Amino acid sequence: MTAGERAGRGAAGGGYRVIIIGSGISGLFVALEARRLGPVLVLTKGSIDDCNTRWAQGGIAAAVGPLDSVESHLKDTIDAGAGLVDEVAARVLCSEAPGRIRDLVEYGVAFDSLGGEVALGREAAHSRARILHAGGDRTGAVIEAALGGDAVRDPAITVLDFTLATRLLVEGGAVVGVEALNLADGTFEEYRAEAVVLATGGAGQLFSYTTNPAVATGDGIALAFRAGAEVADLEFYQFHPTAFRRNGGPPFLISEAVRGEGAVLRNTKGEAFMERYHELRDLAPRDVVARAIVAEMKATGSNRVVLDCTHLREVNLAARFPGIYAFCREQGIDMQREPIPVSPAAHYLMGGVRTDIDGRTTVPGLYACGEAACTGVHGANRLASNSLMETVVFGKRVVERMEAGGGGAAAPTPGVEAISTGGGAPDVAVLQQLMWECAGIERDRAGLQRGLDALAGAPAADSPPGRERYEREQMAVAATLMLTAALARTESRGAHFRRDYPERDDVHWLRRQVFRHAD
């Protein structure tokens, strides 16, 4: 349904207990948990299922196996984060993960089983098999369908799709609501609530080659930053090593779980190369694998490597990875008999709107969870499949904080740097190519400065008010913040790699970067 068709379910301009911006797993989970507190409004600029969640293939991580433990999950999370993981937040994630799996089951999510027990897979940098899947490689879509169905049917939850949040309403230093544009008729409306939750997802559309859907334009970061909230860790953007790469073909994600089953990366000469880069070979951390692939592509003069599954005779790939298998067949590839061409693509933002472990931002009344938020749980490099779990663990805590009385805000960061993101908003395709070249897998001072100069000198968006214009403006804000953070961090750490500073520098940079708006 459109926003207009659903408007009758809630009083436009009236008060809500909670307004949620975004309809991925974090937004829908918060909506379902918060409905007992009062009327809930969900605003989403696309359709209700147009989000990153439905494309999540790898699964969701939780220490539920008999040989696993919270401490093991915690250690793997901290190790992957390259020294910058907030251990308090990570302990919350790992210790509360099993309980959130039970919540998802109660909401109707059917996780895959084997022999009557939940089936657990292993992915890169995990020391144990602790990844739960649903529908094989369709975990995100299964979760989205279960939560979305409940949300749409519940009279306590109003869902307005094709409704774009354009501004957070701030009064007396607190967020009290949202200004939104009805994309169907071009009208603006203000919606007020006791609390607003940003669940807008990531910012993959900042780059020309990405696994993210078109809605991932960094909206939550821009909205929060302009409202005075702190943002953090924006230099740490994760590039997934294996996205489908063929001229004319879409950059479809080939899940890390395929390598977890034993698939091997080979260069165009047919050489298995990962043993030259890391002791974990094909299951090394994602940043290591992505840079290794870039090095091999340069060495062979190719724009791709291949992922070889042809030796996996004991794995039914069509059953284990139905979505990937079907996609490859559509592209004329039988992954059981021939390798898949792949290369890295923009995938996941570790940074975002800074929150405490209850999802509170530094502005009263404003919460954030999911990829839009930054609790510090991922540090400089996300551990595979912690992202879906993060949405429900901290989404639950957002609602528990509201139920306990809410109020307050995350403590401000001492000495936080105040910056401006003034400047223009270049055409989206121009911005995407600029970011891929200047802030991609490998960076340096000259490129990052070139990106900042280009954004500062770009003309303002002059198109009529609408989705295209607001996304251009919000993407420009998010891109400026990412470039600024990457330029300032003169070292290489986790997903942030500087060619001109290739070494990790714990003396000067064992710390997070936090910014707020200069105004």
CA 439 distance to own-chain centroid: 17
* Closest alpha carbon to 212 in 221, 222, 200, 224: 200
Contacts of the segment 5-14: beta carbons below 8 A, 24+ positions apart: 6/158, 6/159, 6/160, 6/161, 7/160, 9/155, 9/158, 9/159, 10/39, 10/41, 10/158, 10/160, 12/189, 12/191, 13/189, 13/190, 13/191, 13/192, 14/191, 14/192
Q: Which two tokens stand for residue 74?
A: 């915690």
Pick the catalytic residue: 54, 138, 286, 291?
Answer: 286
Q: Which two tokens stand for residue 214?
A: 């078109």
| Residue 64 half-sphere exposure toward CB, CA atoms < 13 A | 21
Strand order in the sheet with 120-121: 60-61, 131-132, 120-121
Question: CA–CA separation, 17 vs 7, rounded Å?
Answer: 17
6 is catalytic: no
Burial of 375 (0-12, 13-18, 19+ CB in 10 A): buried
Question: CA–CA separation, 365 vs 374, rounded Å?
Answer: 17
Helix (H), strand (E) at residue 192? strand 188-198
- Please say whether the beta carbons of 471 and 224 come within 8 A: no
CA 318 distance to own-chain centroid: 27
- Please say whether the beta carbons of 370 and 52 come within 8 A: no
Q: Which two tokens stand for residue 112?
A: 């895959």
Question: CA–CA separation, 47 vs 28, rounded Å?
Answer: 13
Helix (H), strand (E) at residue 480? helix 467-488
The DSSP symbol for 282 reads G
CA dihedral 378, 322, 212, 18 (to 10 degrees): -70
- Please say whether the beta carbons of 46 and 221 come within 8 A: no
Question: CA–CA separation, 195 vs 20, rounded Å?
Answer: 9
- Please say whether the beta carbons of 245 and 303 come within 8 A: yes
Question: CA–CA separation, 228 vs 224, rounded Å?
Answer: 6
The DSSP symbol for 120 reads E
| Cα angle 366-367-370, degrees, rounded to a multiple of 5 | 145
Helix (H), strand (E) at residue 17? strand 15-21
Known catalytic residues are 286
